[in-house]
Amino acid sequence: MTKLRIFVSHSSQYGEIAKRLKLTLQALELTNQLEILISEEMAGAQDWRKWIDQNVKTSDLFLLLYPHAEMEMGWCNYELGRFYDEIRPVVCIKNVDISSPPPAFKPYQCYDASQQGFLKFLNELFVTGEF
């Protein structure tokens, strides 16, 4: 069985949220079939643009963390552009106080960062196999 590669896109100011999400998903996974990619874990001597390009292009799922409506979206939009192919899923987990995802992400499934929204995401990730 191949691993499901998840690229977590986020603003650098929310890197701690990305790390916690990665640890949470790894703790819930029993089969070691997830590979979760966050930029904070790239090697220090790595060309970061090449790392982003390579990992975005080879991921199975693009996951945007959107905790604040005023979040800087430049790199997230760049990463989405590198990922987009109309086949692989794109999802957004957003703050419950935000009414909709950012413009480039409006066509995609969005989960509220509430208990119900996160449980729906986990169910689709681990149980129904949506991704």
Q: Which amino acid is at 125?
A: L
Model confidence pLDDT, tens digit, residues 7-44: 999 999 999 999 999 999 999 887 778 999 999 888 78
Model confidence pLDDT, tens digit, residues 76-93: 999 999 998 889 999 999
End-to-end Cα, the chain, rounded Å: 14
DSSP the chain: -PPEEEEEE--GGGHHHHHHHHHHHHHH-SS--EEEE-GGGS-TTS-HHHHHHHHHHT-SEEEEEE--TT---HHHHHHHHHH--SSS-EEEEE-TT-SS--GGGTTSEEEESSHHHHHHHHIIIIIS---
Structure tokens at 131: 């991704």
- In this prediction, residue 1 has a pLDDT band, given cuts at 50, 70 and 90, of low
Q: What is the mean pLDDT of residues 43-60?
A: 90
Structure tokens at 96: 């419950």
